[in-house]
Structure 1
């Protein structure tokens, strides 16, 4: 595993956790747009930079599917149905992880439940875990803040979507840089 605190596209994989229609409906509107846009940015950059992505859905019969905005961006990325809060407790999820990519970027909801437990589970599997703070959300902002503090304390790297994307890029040149720059306008 890389000891670098910078995310690197060739070592990374992206996991979008439980951004589902009925869960989105109970999130604070003031933060929801930011979180969805950050998830979208990460997914678009991942596609352009060939960073594999996957998505989890917590009990989709009850919480609905992934929101349409992100479904489109996920394309053919694997979708893992689960009932456990940690994605790592779902055997299908662990089989979808790329063993040659030790860095895992997390986005989604809720920060203090599924994101937190997944991050801890991934660390236990030896992964270097990054959480894009602006791409995760909780119903209560205090729960989000508590989750970020707990994750930092546990050694998870708390970052943001733009930092991750620009770390993946590494330099301001080429067609991919131009395409990603357009996404940020």
Structure 2
């Protein structure tokens, strides 16, 4: 078990997995808006706190590009294209993982496929994995619930957007705190 159970900005990398325009049409719409909003909050907090971020796109020719809401927040990040379900099976993704960041924070879709397989492979690679439960989604809520149970059993820390951003912040002061506080109101 990892001794460090809190997400730390200086140790974290945010991974936004497959939040793509054609994939969102298949998702439960009531949960989808919250998922996109929470992924956006994490993306903005990561940007403010200099947490490196990786965006992936599963077969973008078929599934479209990253949703505009997230592209607008992170315009300078070029998504890593992949066809494998686990991000770690894509060499371009692995080149963006930094050895000095041991905590990976995962958001995106689908929970029971790409999130799950990526998380399991990251754990296998010795990383500490945090999953923002309110920023992941599956077409079928039962599949998401099953994925969360498997992630917990595998040693992932299942958390939520606010817990992660406030753990990254650590204290209630400074410009980043003020900006992030506005995001979550």
TM-score higher than 0.5 here? yes
Q: How does 1:133-152 map to 2 (within 5 A)?
A: 133-152=133-152
Q: What TM-score results when the alignment is normalised by the length of structure 2?
A: 0.98
Equivalent-residue separation in structure 1 for 2:139 and 2:169 (angstroms): 32
Aligned to 1:127: 127
- Worse overlay, 75-84 or 35-44: 75-84
Secondary structure at 1:9 match in 2: coil
* TM-score computed with the length of structure 1 as normaliser: 0.98
Cα shift readout 1:62-100 (whole Å, capped 9, x = no counterpart): 000011111111222241100000000001100101111
Question: Which residue does the alignment assign to 2:163?
Answer: 163
* Aligned match of 2:64: 64
Alignment of 1:30-69 (within 5 A): 30-69=30-69
Moved over 6 A (4+): none
Alignment correspondent of 1:92: 92
Contact 1:12/1:102 (<8 A) preserved? yes
Distance 2:3 2:86 in 1: 24
Which runs of 5 or more residues in structure 1 are unaligned?
A: none
Which whole-Å CA distance do the structure 2 matches of 1:84 and 1:174 have between them?
A: 41
Are the equivalent residues in 2 in contact too, given 1:59–1:81 (CA < 8 A)?
yes
Residue of structure 1 in register with 2:15 after alignment: 15
- Secondary structure of 1:152's counterpart equals helix
Q: Does 1:154 align with 2:150?
A: no
Single out whichever of 165-174 and 1-10 deviates more from structure 2: 1-10
Q: Matched residues in 1 for 2:77 and 2:134: separation?
A: 22
Distance in 2, Cα, partners of 1:89 & 1:74: 24
Preserved contact between residue 17 and residue 114 of structure 1 (Cα < 8 Å): yes
Q: Partners in 2 of 1:37 and 1:82 — Cα distance? A: 24
User: Root-mean-square deviation (CA), in Å?
Assistant: 1.1
Write the deviation string for residues 111-154 of structure 1: whole angstroms up to 9, x where unpaired.
00000000011111111000000000000000000000000000
**What residue ranges of structure 2 are gaps of 5+ in the alignment?**
none
| Matched positions, count | 185
CA contact (8 A) 1:18 1:108 kept: yes
